Amino acid sequence: MLHCKISIDLMHHAIACRSGSMSKRVALKCLDCDSKPPWGTLVLNTRFNFFAVARSNWRPVAWFVGGVAVLAFFLYVVLPFIASTRIVKERIAFELSVWSGYQVSIQSDPEIRLFPLRAVLNGVRLTEWTGDGKPVLEADEFVMNLSPTSALMGDIYFSKVRLVKPTLWVEPYASGLYLPRLPGAGRMANAVKDAQVLTASNPEDPDLSALGGDPFGTVEFFDGRILDAVDGSEIVNALEGIVTWPRLDRGGALKASGAWRGERVIVEFSSNEPMLLLAGGTANLHFAFAGAPGNATFDGRVNLSAQPFFDGEGAFATSSLRQTLEWSRADIASTPDISAVSIGGRVQGGQNRIKLENLQLVLDGSSGSGAMELQLGQARPSLSGTLAFQRINLGSLMSALSPVGGETGTTLDTTFAEHLNLDLRLSSTEATAGPIAMTEVAATAQIRDGLAVFDISDARAFDGSLQAGLRFDITASGVEMGTSVRATDIDGGALGSTLGLTRAVPASRGSFSLMLKGPVERWDHVSDGLEGTFSANFGKGTLVGVDLPAFLKRTSDGGFFSLEDVSQGTLPLDRLDLQTTITRNLVHVDRAELVSGQHRVQLSGLVSYIGGGLALSGSVATAAADSGQAAPGARFFVGGSLSEPFISPQTAPQ
C-alpha cells in the first residue's frame, strides 16, 4: 500500500464564494489497486481571492465604458452642434429642393433631437424658381426623421417628414382638378417625366419595372390649410392627415380630414400605381369621401391627363339631399325637401361626360334601377336617362326637380330651369301622389331652354286610366304655369272616398278633365292668373247625401233652408254632365245637369274656389211618363258656401 500512487479527486469543482474562502473535500485512492487509503478523506480549507483574478480583466471593461461615454458625448453634444450649423441647414434645404424641384428656404438653423434622430426646422418655404416666385407650400415647422448612419457620414437622408401648420396653394388645371403649380425639375418631376415616357411608349401596358425606385417615405401634416392661388380664398382648413408612399415604383395612399365649406370631411386615396396617375397614365384608384354632406366611394381605373376619364364602381349616399346641395353651393335658391338618397352602379366618363350603368337608386325609400348620363362642358349640364321603380313617391320626385311645394308667401323659384337640362323617362309598378295611389305608371320629366314639363303620360288609378301634367314656361316677362289632369273610365266612388268628396262625386263610372294655364309669381297667389276649363261626365250610379223627394217638398213649402236638412238619402243617378270655365279664382258653371229617373236637375252660376262662396241658379224638371217631355218644376237659388250651402226657392212648383 505504501508503494501505491495516490490521486486526489476534488469532490467539489465549483469555486464560487463571494467572501473569497471555501472548503474542499478531498478523496484519496491508489492508482494501481484502485483502493482507498485507510485515512480516507481529507478536508482542506483554503481562501480564494476573486479580485486578484478579475484584476487582469479590468482593462477591456474600461475601454468599453470609455467608448460608450465618448459615443454618448458625440450624440448628445457634438452631433447636435454640428447638425445645427449653417452648413447642415443648407444641406437640408438643398436635399428638399432636389426632391421637390422648388426653391427651399429655412428661417432658422435646424434643431437636432435624438431617439429617433430627427431635425426640427422652423419657417420652411417652398417657392417657384422662375416667374413671380409665388409660394407653393409653407409650414411653421418641419420635423424630419434622419438616418443616423447617413448623418455620421455627412449625408442627409430622411424617411419621414411631419409638417406643422402647413399652407398649400392650389389652382385649377385643364383636367378640372385643383393642384399646386408643378415644378419643372427635381427628383419627383424627373420621375414623373420618366413615367410619362414609359406611358407614351406603351399606353395600354407600360413597363412598370423600368420606373425609378427612389424612396419617398411618409409625410404627416397637422393643422394645415389649402388656399386658392388665384384669389387667395381659403378652401380647406384644420387639415390633417398622412401620405404613405415607400418607393416611387410602389403603391401609395393618402388619408386626410379637414373642414371644407364649414363641414368636417374625410377623404382617402390609394393606388398601386400612383406614379402612372401623376404621369397622365391609367391606373387603379380607390377613393372614399365621408362627412355630413354624404358618403361617396369609387373603385376602378382612372386617368388624370388633360383628357381625364374613369371607369369603375361608384356609390353615393346622403341622409339629406337638401343639405348636400346647400353644401355643394349648387346655386339653387330653392333646394328640394328630400331626405335619404343613395345611388350606385358602374360609373364611366371623363371631363365632359359621366355615364351610370346598372344604376341602383333609392329616393326617400323608393328603389329604382336603370341608366343615366350627364353631359358637361356646355352652357348648362344635361342629364338624361331611364329609371324603373317598383314603388315611387311622385311628390318627392317632383319637389326634387321643380319648385312645386314652395312655401306660402315665397316667390316662385325658377332657377331649377337655369342650371340643368333634363330628360328623364320614368316607370313604376306602383306610385303615389299625395293620397292618390297609381299602378303601371309611365312618366317623363323634361327641362330645356326655359321650359319645364312634368308628365304622367299613363297610369292606372281608381280602376281607370289617368294622365296628368305640369308645365312651366319661363320667359323674360315672367313665368306661365299650366296644369292638366285627365281621368277616363274611373270609379267615381273610389275617387270621392280618397279625396273626401263623397257628396260631390257620384259613385259611378265616369271621366273628367281639368286644364289650367296662366302667369304666376307667388305661391300664395298661384291661382290668381290661372284660366281654363273643367268638365266631367258620369254614368249610372248613385250620389250620396241628396234626398230629392225631401228637397222638392221643402222647395214647394217655400222658405229658406239648408241643404244639410235634405241630405239624409242617396239619389239614384242615370247620368251627370258638367261643363265649367275657370278664370281668376272663379268657376263659371256653364252647364250642370243631373238625371235621376224622371227628374232632371240643372244648375248654372258661379263658385269661388278660394273663399268657397256660391251663387247658383237651379231647377228641377219632371219628365212625363207618357211623352218623355220635361214638365216645369221647382226653381231655386243656391247660396252660402261650399261647406254650408243654403237653398232659397224662387217659385212654387206647378
pLDDT of residue 84: 52
User: Which of the pair, 501 or 476, is modelled with greater confidence?
Assistant: 501
pLDDT of residue 11: 40
Q: What average pLDDT does this structure show over 552-560?
A: 86
Q: What average pLDDT does this structure show over 294-316?
A: 91
Kindly report whether the global pTM for this prediction surpasses the value 0.85.
no
Q: How far apart are alpha carbons 485 and 120 in whole angstroms?
A: 75
Contacts of residue 55, Cβ cutoff 8 Å, sequence gap at least 6:
none
The β-bridge partners of 485 are 468, 514
Q: pLDDT band at residue 328, thresholds of 50, 70 and 90?
A: confident
Cell digits of residue 322:
337638401
Residues 243-297: tens digit of each pLDDT: 999 888 889 999 999 999 989 999 999 999 898 888 888 899 999 999 988 999 9
Q: How far apart are alpha carbons 355 and 349 in whole angstroms?
A: 6
For every residue of 168-203, DSSP letters joined together read EEEEE-TTS-EEPPPPSSSHHHHHHHHHHHHHHH-S
Q: pLDDT band at residue 12, thresholds of 50, 70 and 90?
A: very low
232 falls within a domain: no
Residues 438 and 335 placed together within one structural domain of the fold: yes
Residues 409-450: tens digit of each pLDDT: 566 666 767 777 889 999 999 999 889 999 999 999 898 888
Residues 455 and 572 placed together within one structural domain of the fold: no
Task: State the alpha helices, DSSP H only, in 347-423.
Answer: 394-401
Amino acid type, 216:
F
Contact at 8 Å (CB) between 542 and 594?
Answer: no
Q: pLDDT band at residue 402, thresholds of 50, 70 and 90?
A: low
Amino acid type, 453:
V
Q: Which domain holds residue 377?
A: 330-461
Residues 71 and 100 placed together within one structural domain of the fold: no
Cell digits of residue 194:
420618366
The SS3 assignment for 600 reads: strand
Residues 99 and 62 placed together within one structural domain of the fold: no
Contact at 8 Å (CB) between 623 and 630?
Answer: yes
Contact at 8 Å (CB) between 371 and 357?
Answer: yes
Residues 643 and 580 placed together within one structural domain of the fold: yes
Q: pLDDT band at residue 9, thresholds of 50, 70 and 90?
A: very low
Contacts of residue 544, Cβ cutoff 8 Å, sequence gap at least 6:
502, 503, 507, 570
Q: How far apart are alpha carbons 188 and 215 in whole angstroms?
A: 10
User: Which of the pair, 616 or 503, is modelled with greater confidence?
Assistant: 616
Segment 452-459 long-range contacts (CB within 8 Å, at least 24 positions apart): 452/401, 452/402, 452/416, 452/417, 454/398, 454/401, 454/402, 456/394, 459/431
**% residues pLDDT > 90 (the chain):** 38
pLDDT of residue 652: 47
Q: Are strands 215-228 and 158-172 parallel, antiparallel or unpaired?
A: parallel
Q: How far apart are alpha carbons 342 and 13 in whole angstroms?
A: 85
Cell digits of residue 401:
326637380
Task: Give me the count of residues in the chain.
Answer: 654
Q: Which of 80-89, 200-209, 425-434 shows the lowest mean pLDDT across its residues?
A: 80-89
For every residue of 8-69, DSSP letters joined together read EEES------TTSEEEEEEEEEETTT----TT-EEEEEEE--HHHHHGGGHHHHHHHHHHHH
Cell digits of residue 643:
261647406
pLDDT of residue 406: 52
Does pLDDT of 80 surpass 60? no
Q: Which of 4-13, 120-129, 351-360, 394-403 shows the lowest mean pLDDT across its residues?
A: 4-13
Q: How far apart are alpha carbons 241 and 219 in whole angstroms?
A: 9
The count of domains in the chain is: 4
Q: What average pLDDT does this structure show over 527-549?
A: 92
Cell digits of residue 550:
225631401
368 falls within a domain: yes
Q: How far apart are alpha carbons 479 and 521 in whole angstroms?
A: 7
Q: Which of 76-90, 410-424, 575-589 shows the lowest mean pLDDT across its residues?
A: 76-90
Backbone angles phi, psi at 25, to 5 degrees: -110, 120
Q: How far apart are alpha carbons 90 and 188 in whole angstroms?
A: 20
**% residues pLDDT > 70 (the chain):** 78
Q: What average pLDDT does this structure show over 41-55?
A: 45
473-505: buried (b, 16+ CB within 10 Å) or exposed (e) per residue? Answer: bbeeeebbbbbbbebeebbbbbbbebeeebeeb
Q: How far apart are alpha carbons 505 and 6 in whole angstroms?
A: 139
337 falls within a domain: yes
Residues 598 and 642 placed together within one structural domain of the fold: yes
Count Cβ atoms within 10 A of the Cβ of residue 255 and give its class: 0-12 exposed, 13-18 middle, 19 or more buried.
middle
256 falls within a domain: no
258 falls within a domain: no
204 falls within a domain: no
Please count the other Cβ atoms lying within 10 Å of the Cβ belonging to residue 46. 10
Domain boundary among 179, 195, 211: 195
pLDDT of residue 5: 43
Q: How far apart are alpha carbons 187 and 215 in whole angstroms?
A: 11
The β-bridge partners of 219 are 161, 243
Residues 364 and 433 placed together within one structural domain of the fold: yes
Cell digits of residue 549:
223627394
Q: What average pLDDT does this structure show over 509-526?
A: 88
Residues 360 and 448 placed together within one structural domain of the fold: yes
The SS3 assignment for 654 reads: coil
Domain boundary among 412, 439, 461: 461
Residues 40 and 134 placed together within one structural domain of the fold: no
Q: Which of 51-55, 73-77, 293-297, 450-454 shows the lowest mean pLDDT across its residues?
A: 51-55
Contact at 8 Å (CB) between 332 and 419?
Answer: yes
Q: How far apart are alpha carbons 154 and 87 in whole angstroms?
A: 10
pLDDT of residue 47: 44
pLDDT of residue 629: 52
Does pLDDT of 7 surpass 70? no
- Cα torsion through 50, 51, 53, 56, rounded to 10: 160
Does pLDDT of 609 surpass 90? no
CA-nearest of 600, 590, 592 to 623 is: 600
294 falls within a domain: no
366 falls within a domain: yes
Residues 416 and 342 placed together within one structural domain of the fold: yes
pLDDT of residue 648: 92
Does pLDDT of 175 surpass 80? no
Residues 67 and 130 placed together within one structural domain of the fold: no
Count Cβ atoms within 10 A of the Cβ of residue 555 and give its class: 0-12 exposed, 13-18 middle, 19 or more buried.
buried
Residues 544 and 451 placed together within one structural domain of the fold: no
Q: What average pLDDT does this structure show over 214-242?
A: 91
Does pLDDT of 496 surpass 90? yes
Domain boundary among 164, 195, 226: 195
Contacts of residue 295, Cβ cutoff 8 Å, sequence gap at least 6:
288, 289, 315, 316, 317, 318
Q: pLDDT band at residue 451, thresholds of 50, 70 and 90?
A: confident
Please count the other Cβ atoms lying within 10 Å of the Cβ belonging to residue 434. 10
Q: How far apart are alpha carbons 611 and 538 in whole angstroms?
A: 27
Range among 53-62, 182-191, 397-406, 570-579 rated most confident: 570-579
Does pLDDT of 126 surpass 70? yes
Segment 595-598 long-range contacts (CB within 8 Å, at least 24 positions apart): 596/548, 596/571, 596/572, 597/572, 598/622, 598/623, 598/624, 598/625
Please count the other Cβ atoms lying within 10 Å of the Cβ belonging to residue 587. 16
CA gyration radius, the chain:
46
